[in-house]
């Protein structure tokens, strides 16, 4: 039987972001081709049999993105984005988190099953300028491509836009036995998809570009490179694709309709490899794919597109023949039994622009919206009620866990959604049923990952309660404290403070 190759984008076409009035199409940069930036792996301060120690520094810098003046950017241990951080499953991680930026930030470990709200690094764990925070947690999850990004409410979107996002790779003994390319930088590379608008003197201007439905720019920026090419020296190439954009959906396909194979989703390897010619990714999702260039030869070029815009040029060089075949079954996926005592939990994402809400409320840092017990599995029904002009797709994300997708409007999930996920994009009018369980206790956020929507209040938080310690107390920050700190750091009064998400509350007559 011929293997199935999927060649559509699955999502509801009328809800693609291209139909939004504020949509900004990508444009092919009119600048010289540059080698794709491959972030170096961050070197641990120390590593033992059981522990890994890292210093992660959020810092300002300047990056040569276009010819001429460098762009002012932010990054982690780098001027833009960051070094790739490697964690090994089973090890205890000790992080020294430093902030060299002019304003407060947080270090959110997107995709890690670690306690919240402090280790998780959401809005309750600020690190102020010229100060640091130390956190320790144990990695207890399968190999995956996760990421680190800033998460200070309500300025997450602006800080990610300035460059605070980098890949986090979890390694384990199961992945290392599978026949995947894993020579980092050679045949195993991150592909961080972002888009920016360059203003006068090659600078970014978040406020000028602000859109409450998500900031976009016309220039594709891949791993912090404009107009990149990559030199292919192996027959098979593994791409760890991360949609690190604030708003943009990427509809990916290669020249010649080249087939590729997805091997992993957000939080781990898929049960079976899935073949595609087209793949749509929405904000914060990860897709690991293997591309096989056996039909090409030295001197050829294969182009990765999003819609009609070329975004990465793969220049083919001599390579050794590689006859590796992937097994039909890759890994087993955990599938806990739903606890009969827990009712279905409903979550509704509603509104667009400033009206965005979750369960008819805007986010409040001091409010616990839901409680669930540690270690028990519950069905969550996630709905998107948008119905204006085709509506828009909201990528729903949960901190501190990975979930399984059970169904979309009663139908099977998409073929590449059978593994562990922490982001699921929900079409307008759709009910997506998830199996949700937590292996760690604490307070966790859940929200739309169009980052301006989360800053604008399409976010809530749950407390996962450990029955051994039901009265655990958590110190929660509040918006006012964080906003006062931002105002002080910028030397402005509270009345003159501008942070993207604030307008979404003010225009709805709400306080943060």
Q: Which residue has the tokens 């241990």?
A: 77
Residue 108 or 253: which CB sits closer to Cu ion? 108
Count of CB atoms situated within 10 Å of the CB of 321: 6
Q: Which of 121, 425, 197, 120 is nearest to 417 (CA)?
A: 425
Measured CA to CA, the distance from residue 466 to residue 451 in angstroms comes to 30
Smallest distance, Cu ion to C-beta of residue 452, A: 8
Instruction: Provide the 10 A C-beta neighbour count for residue 127.
Output: 20
Q: Based on CB atoms, which residue is closest to Cu ion, 71 or 155?
A: 155
Nearer to Cu ion, 298 or 388 (CB): 388
Q: Show the DSSP H helices in 100-143 as ranges.
A: none
Q: Tell the smallest beta-carbon distance from residue 342 to Cu ion (Å).
A: 26
Question: Can you tell me the distance from the alpha carbon of 110 to that of 186, in angstroms, rounded to the nearest whole number?
Answer: 25
Shortest Å distance, C-beta 104 to Cu ion: 25
d(CA 394, CA 446): 12
Contacting positions for Cu ion (CB under 5 A): 394, 448, 450, 453
Residue with smaller CB distance to Cu ion, 188 or 249 = 249
| 48/39 Cα distance (integer angstroms) | 24
**Shortest Å distance, C-beta 391 to Cu ion:** 11
Alpha carbon distance 459, 361 (integer Å): 8
Provide, rounded to whole angstroms, the least separation between the CB of residue 395 and Cu ion.
7
CB of 396 to Cu ion, least distance (A): 8
Handedness of CA 98, 101, 107, 110 (dihedral sign): negative
According to DSSP, residue 127 is labeled B
Cα 403 from Cα 438, distance rounded (Å): 9
Write a three-state SS string for 222-259: ECCEECEEEEECCCEEEEEEEECCCCCCEEEEEHHHCC
C-beta closer to Cu ion: residue 37 or 384: 384
The minimum distance between CB 42 and Cu ion, in angstroms, equals 31
Smallest gap from residue 252 Cβ to Cu ion (A): 21
Tokens read off for 202: 């090659």
Nearest approach, Cβ of residue 278 and Cu ion (Å): 23
Query: Do 219 and 29 meet the contact criterion of CB atoms below 8 Å apart?
Result: yes
Nearer to Cu ion, 147 or 396 (CB): 396
Closer Cβ to Cu ion, 125 or 460, answer by number: 460
With CB atoms as reference, the residue minimizing the distance to Cu ion is 448
Name the minimum Å distance from CB 471 to Cu ion: 35
Give the nearer residue to Cu ion in terms of CB position, either 291 or 448. Answer: 448
Enclosing H/E stretch for 97: strand 92-99
For residue 31, the minimal CB distance to Cu ion (Å) is: 32
Provide the 3-class DSSP secondary structure of residue 126: coil
Residue 509 has phi, psi (to 5 degrees) of 70, 30
Q: CA–CA distance from 274 to each of 266, 326, 346 (Å)?
A: 15, 11, 30
Q: Quick one: which H or E segment has residue 159?
A: helix 156-162
CA distance 315 to 299: 7
Identify which of residues 450 and 499 has a Cβ nearer to Cu ion in the complex.
Answer: 450
Nearer to Cu ion, 166 or 504 (CB): 504
- Which is closer to Cu ion, CB of 24 or CB of 191? 24
Q: Are 481 and 494 in contact (CB under 8 A)?
A: no
């Amino acid at each position: 039987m011929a293997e199935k190759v999927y060649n559509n984008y699955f999502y509801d076409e009328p809800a693609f972001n291209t139909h939004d009035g504020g949509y900004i199409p990508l444009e092919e940069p009119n600048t010289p081709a540059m080698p794709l930036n491959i972030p170096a792996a961050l070197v641990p301060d120390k590593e033992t049999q059981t522990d890994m120690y890292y210093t992660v520094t959020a810092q300002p810098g300047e990056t040569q993105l276009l010819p001429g003046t460098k762009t002012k950017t932010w990054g982690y241990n780098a001027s833009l984005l960051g070094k790739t951080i490697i964690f090994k499953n089973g090890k205890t991680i000790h992080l020294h988190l430093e902030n060299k930026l002019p304003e407060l930030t947080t270090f959110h470990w997107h995709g890690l099953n670690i306690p919240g709200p402090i280790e998780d690094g959401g809005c309750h764990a600020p690190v102020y300028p010229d100060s640091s925070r130390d956190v320790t947690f144990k990695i207890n999850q399968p190999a995956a491509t996760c990421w680190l990004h800033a998460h200070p409410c309500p300025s997450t979107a602006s800080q990610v836009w300035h460059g605070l996002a980098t890949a986090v790779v979890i390694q384990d003994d199961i992945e290392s036995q599978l026949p995947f390319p894993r020579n980092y930088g050679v045949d195993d590379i991150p592909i961080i998809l972002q888009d920016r608008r360059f203003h006068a003197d090659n600078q970014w201007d978040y406020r000028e570009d602000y859109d409450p439905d998500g900031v976009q720019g016309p220039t594709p920026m891949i791993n912090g490179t404009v107009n990149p090419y990559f030199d292919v020296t192996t027959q098979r190439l593994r791409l760890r694709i991360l949609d690190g954009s604030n708003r943009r959906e990427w509809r990916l396909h290669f020249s010649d309709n080249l087939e590729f194979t997805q091997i992993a989703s957000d939080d781990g390897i898929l049960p079976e490899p899935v073949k595609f010619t087209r793949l749509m990714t929405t904000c914060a999702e990860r897709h690991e794919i293997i591309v096989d260039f056996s039909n090409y030869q030295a001197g050829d070029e294969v182009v990765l597109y999003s819609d009609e815009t070329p975004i990465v040029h793969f220049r083919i060089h001599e390579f050794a023949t590689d006859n590796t075949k992937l097994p039909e079954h890759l890994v087993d996926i955990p599938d806990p039994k739903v606890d009969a005592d827990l009712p279905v939990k409903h979550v509704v994402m509603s509104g667009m622009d400033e009206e965005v809400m979750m369960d008819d409320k805007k986010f409040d840092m001091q409010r616990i919206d839901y409680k669930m017990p540690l270690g028990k599995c519950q069905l969550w029904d996630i709905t998107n009620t948008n119905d204006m002009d085709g509506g828009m797709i909201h990528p729903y994300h949960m901190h501190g866990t990975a979930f399984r997708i059970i169904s979309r409007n009663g139908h099977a999930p998409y073929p590449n959604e059978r593994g562990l996920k922490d982001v699921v994009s929900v079409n307008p009018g759709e009910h997506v049923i998830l199996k949700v369980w937590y292996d760690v206790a604490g307070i966790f956020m859940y929200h739309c990952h169009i980052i301006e929507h989360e800053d604008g209040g399409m976010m809530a938080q749950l407390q996962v309660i450990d029955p051994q310690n039901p009265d655990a107390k958590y110190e929660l920050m509040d918006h006012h404290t964080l906003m006062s700190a931002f105002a002080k750091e910028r030397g402005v009064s509270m009345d003159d403070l501008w942070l993207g998400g604030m307008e979404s509350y003010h225009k709805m007559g709400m306080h943060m």
